[in-house]
Structure 1
């Protein structure tokens, strides 16, 4: 059975997840810069293939850790995660996206991001 989070559980996890999200964001930016520089100039001050692989591995490690904990990863550009939950007997996802200071939104499981509403 998939993990079901309470709002309080998800909120208690968020500070650590936000710190890991900052690592994903930094690695994502480095990946983009190294890739663009290598395509345009053939080299990048940020590194080459070993650095690309290291950034990819770090991102994958973080995302795998989230999914192992029952968190649904919806995207990495921007970072978007959902926590499966039940509110008022309804299957929902508590939703956090990169840049939000706290967990304040949810949506029905069948609607996705477009159905986001503020948490009561």
Structure 2
């Protein structure tokens, strides 16, 4: 990962190839994060009044899933990627394109890292990479 020209908003800059490789390494964590997120949501619903908490493991299982969710979020954040959302998952990788600070953007459901947006515009300014 390059650090030349890094702004205060990033720990380092990725090239597109580096960000794609990092996303590839993160995929197993992201897949588990999606599964744990769903498990925790189901357990939370089961714990609500009238839910079937005993059939799904109840409060101890929900606490375990929530703890694992937090661990996975921490692991993703420690990678250098910016985790911007968890439902759906949204990751940004700080980069520079044509001398402009941008964030290479991956949204849950995207097959590849194929989008970017200017750092000051956010998701609304999302554009496809060439």
Q: CA deviation at 1:85?
A: 0.6
Q: 1:80 aligns with which of 58, 74, 90?
A: 90
Matched residue, 2:69: 59
User: Cα RMSD between the aligned structures?
Assistant: 1.4
Q: Distance in 1 between matches of 2:97 and 2:16?
A: 9
Matched residue, 2:5: none
Aligned pairs, how many? Answer: 120
Q: Distance in 2 between matches of 1:24 and 1:44?
A: 24
Runs of 4+ in 1 over 6 A off after TM superposition: none
> Which structure has the higher relative contact order (CA within 8 Å, separation 6+)?
1
Tell me the TM-score normalised to structure 1 length. Answer: 0.92
Matched residue, 1:20: 29
Contact 1:30 1:46 in 2 (8 A): no
Contact 1:85 1:92 in 2 (8 A): yes
* Bigger radius of gyration among the two: 2
Tell me the TM-score normalised to structure 2 length. Answer: 0.85
Q: CA deviation at 1:52?
A: 1.3
Q: 1:50 aligns with which of 52, 55, 60?
A: 60
Query: Gaps spanning 5+ residues in structure 1: where?
Result: none
Q: Secondary structure at the match of 2:113?
A: coil
Q: CA deviation at 1:28?
A: 0.7
